[in-house]
Amino acid sequence: MKKILVFTATYNESGNIDRLIKNIALFLPSADMLVVDDNSPDGTGKILDTIASSMPQLHVLHRNKKLGLGTAHKLGMKYARDNDYDVLITMDSDFSHNPSYLPKIAQLMDKNDFVTGSRYITGGRSDYDGYRKFVSFSANLLARNLLGIPFKECTTSFRGFSKRLLKMMDIDSIRSDGYSFFFESIFLVSRLTDNVSEFPIYFENRASGTSKISRTEIAKSCINLMRLFADRLTSAAGNNSRHFIKYALIGILNTAVSYMTYSLFLILGTSYPAALILSYIVGIVHSYAWNRLWNFKSISSLIPETARFITAYVISFFLNLLMLRSFIEVHGMQPFIAQATAIIFTVPATFLMMRYWVFKRPK
């Protein structure tokens, strides 16, 4: 049987915590639980200690002051990883995340590295309205689009993580200590695995107590979102320049290989046009193989990818021809200068087609 840990963080949840622990035990009787409490002034920590004294599967960690939801979740993730749990399920402790979904998450974790409850897919909904609905909706929209996260829901903590994923994640690399932890962590997850799933949830208003999310926290989350977006742009630029250098090197090698093939065919007595066509074909195959295997380390199926590659090549050939003609005939350039100028445009354009359309890279 799988070893499951259910994690939640508490700050002033005395009206919810007892019922929550009982519900978790009801819906997932074999699971262990971990609660991180930040010295809640309302005595949540003491309630937890009392329950834990007669419930060996409940573990409580006390921190001496409110240190933020993100750092509490990081502790939970490390605890699950270091104690060799097969699955970690995280949730809020105020009944916005209904414990009746727990068996469903446990079942989804049979096939996934990561799952998240979602208010924003078909079947999902939320009790939020007015300002809170607006904040939640905009946060998800921005996080999803600025960070390229392939989930409709990026900000809720009702999630499942596999042991494999927790081992792959550099948990300390997540810098957010507050609510932005949720989109920062899902951003990291989306770069590590495709084996993910979203399931619809009804996100209810908290059962008792008050919200802990402040305006300062929202402002900090916006700053963190911009920081992650900037990281994304710079790392994409870094990756792109690496791919571009390799692409250019392959291009130079390709010119040499095509020229040698062309000469070889001529030596073997092939006619000029046939030697030209054959060397062109050898060039295409050669360039495709290097780009697929060395540059982009692609994982796409061979046939559609080859079709895309040839299409990109043909587009680039005609683009080059069009520019050459217009530079020579309209602008009166010398043929050599015209070709050199055309290359300045066609090489980057072809590279972008290869990078974002032809080749699909593994995570």
Ligand X SMILES: Nc1nc2c(ncn2[C@@H]2O[C@H](COP(=O)(O)OP(=O)(O)OP(=O)(O)O)[C@@H](O)[C@H]2O)c(=O)[nH]1
Binding site for ligand X (CB under 6 A): 8-11, 13, 36-38, 66, 68-69, 72, 92-94, 96, 206, 211-213
Residue with Cβ nearer Mg ion (173 or 210):
210
Q: How far is the CB of 12 from Mg ion (least distance, A)?
A: 11
The least CB distance from residue 360 to ligand X, in Å, is 36
The yes or no reply on residue 220 touching Mg ion (CB under 5 A) is no
CB of 38 to ligand X, least distance (A): 4
Are 228 and 187 spatial neighbours (Cβ–Cβ below 8 Å)?
Answer: yes
Listing DSSP states for 147-175 in one string gives HT---S--S---EEEEHHHHHHS-GGG--
* Both structure tokens of 219: 């402002």
Give start and end residues of each alpha helix (H) in the chain: 17-27, 44-53, 69-82, 102-108, 130-147, 163-168, 181-192, 215-267, 272-290, 302-325, 335-353
Give how far Cα 343 sits from Cα of 301, 346, 359, Å. Answer: 30, 5, 22
Please say which residue, 92 or 113, places its beta carbon nearer to ligand X.
Answer: 92
Of 295, 312, 307, nearest to 248 by C-alpha is 295
Interface with Mg ion includes 96 (CB under 5 A)? yes
| Least distance between Mg ion and beta carbon 67 (Å) | 18
Q: Which of 219, 340 has the CB closer to ligand X? A: 219
Q: Does 13 bind Mg ion (CB under 5 A)?
A: no
Max distance between CA atoms of the chain, in angstroms, equals 93
- Contacting Mg ion (CB under 5 A), which of 13, 32, 37, 94? 94
- Which span sits near Mg ion by CB under 5 A: 18-26, 69-77, 93-101, 294-302? 93-101
123 burial type by CB count under 10 A (0-12 exposed, 13-18 middle, 19+ buried): exposed
Q: Which is nearer to Mg ion, 206 or 227 (CB)?
A: 206
Using CB distances below 5 to 8 A depending on partner kind, what does residue 9 bind out of Mg ion, ligand X, none?
A: ligand X
Q: Which amino acid is at 164?
A: R
Residue 298 interface partner, choices Mg ion, ligand X, none, CB cut-off 5-8 Å depending on type: none
Indicate the residue among 10 and 279 with the shorter CB distance to ligand X. 10
Alpha-carbon distance of 46 to 97, in angstroms, equals 23
Which span (11-19, 94-102, 249-257, 293-301) binds Mg ion, by CB under 5 A?
94-102
Beta carbons of 178 and 99 less than 8 angstroms apart? no
Are the CB atoms for 68 and 41 separated by under 8 Å? Answer: no
Find the part of the chain contacting Mg ion (CB under 5 A) among 15-23, 172-180, 202-210, 235-243. Answer: 202-210
- What is the binding site for Mg ion (CB under 5 A)? 92, 94, 96, 206
